[in-house]
Amino acid sequence: MASSKRQSVTPLRAVLPSGKKDTDFFQQVWALVRLIPRGRVTSYGAIAACLGARSGARMVGWAMNSSHGVHPKVPAHRVVNRVGLLSGKDHFASPTAMQEQLEKEGIKIKDNQIVDFEKHFWDPGQALTGHQL
């Protein structure tokens, strides 16, 4: 599974705001993900939709890719796809790192899928609620 695995992603470029403008979307995603409370999960579409509708759901995944070297640490393990499947599991440090992290936070995983995903689902709009951008 997922034989194709990119190792070099050059995240520093996104972290270091040299021109700061192209990475705006990434920082937005990271900021949102960082706001995700422990024991809670969200989906790429929710983040993308909260930022700019269904514009760049794919880019959200790329943002996570860069999040590995981003500080503060971004809980990318709390971000999953629409069905609650650990899509980016293969991209983590370990193939089970994501699941381990989620389980550690109290979230149960079954067959690389989050149990009661909707129950643990965290709406990014909630973070913005009462705290406008």
Binding site for DNA (CB under 7 A): 2, 4, 6, 8-10, 13-14, 22-23, 25, 43-45, 48-49, 54-62, 64-65, 67-68, 76, 79, 81-83, 87-88, 91-92
Of the pair 10, 94, the CB lying nearest DNA is at 10
CB of 58 to DNA, least distance (A): 4
Q: Quick one: three-class SS letters along the chain?
A: CCCCCCCCCCHHHHHCCCCCCCCHHHHHHHHHHHCCCCCCEEEHHHHHHHHHCECCHHHHHHHHHHHHHCCCCCCHHHEECCCCECHHHHHCCCCCHHHHHHHHCCCCEECCEECCHHHHECCHHHHHCCCCC
CB of 54 to DNA, least distance (A): 4
Of the pair 7, 132, the CB lying nearest DNA is at 7
Of the pair 75, 127, the CB lying nearest DNA is at 75
Of the pair 43, 131, the CB lying nearest DNA is at 43
